[in-house]
Amino acid sequence: MTTHSSSISRFFWLIVPLIFIVGQIGIEIFVPEDMKARIHSEWGPHETLQFFFVAAAFLVAAFTLPKIDWQTQKLLGLWLAIAAVCSFYVAGEEISWGQQIIHWDTPAYWSTMNDQNETNLHNTSSWLDQKPRLLLFIGIMVGGLVVPALRRWRPSLLPPKFAILYPADILVVTALGVTLPYLANEIREHLFHARLFKRVSELQELYMYYFILLYLVDLRRRAFAPRAS
């Protein structure tokens, strides 16, 4: 069996994702409904952590790019450049490019296009919101679950030239956090017409952005780790 090891501490790849789900379950059980709305509002704990995770992911990618040897690491460099641009965009969108911090008024012409009256792009079209989110979800499912499964049982199906880009096995935990609460919520709602989580999308995005951060941190460490002779 082949594995994809990582130097990330067990605390970050195992304990922190477990804290997310345990904390969310605690919120659902013990927090009054009116307070739940505040928790899931702008700059509640979920959206605050989402912003910091994806902003940190941008910084990791941005500070790694100058160290790339473009003669031998062109694929890695292009991948990191895409990750940096996408992370920057998502971080900016999360805070409406500063509006959530400075609280400026949304221009009237923009309010007619934005269904949340915010100066961001993702509330203007599903192609800038649901479609990129779905693409990210699929990417995490493939990278976080399918790739580790193939690496364990069908390693020959993974092209070696992309080996540096494959997520480490330990990210399975966070990838499961992206999908299992959502599936549990859907199943319970279908069978019992009641949700497990009031805003499962916020929990899912928390796991998504944390996955990106862990992936880029691990990618940076592996990219420049000394190779055994």
- Of all residues in the chain, what percent carry a pLDDT higher than 90? 63
Q: Where are the domains of the chain?
A: 17-102+123-223
Amino acid making up residue 61: A
- State how far the Cα of 146 lies from the Cα of 121, in Å rounded to an integer: 31
pLDDT at 112: 76
Which run of H or of E encompasses 116? none
- Threshold 0.75, pTM exceeds: yes
Segment 160-182, tens digit of pLDDT: 999 999 999 999 999 999 999 99
pLDDT, one tens digit for every residue, the chain (229 residues): 345 667 799 999 999 999 999 999 999 999 888 888 788 877 789 999 999 999 999 999 999 999 999 999 999 999 999 999 999 999 998 888 877 778 778 777 777 777 777 887 887 787 777 889 999 999 999 999 999 999 999 999 999 999 999 999 999 999 999 999 999 999 988 888 888 888 899 999 999 999 999 999 999 998 887 654 3
d(CA 194, CA 198): 10
Structure tokens given for 11: 């605390």
Whether the CB-CB separation of 6 and 168 falls below 8 Å is answered with yes
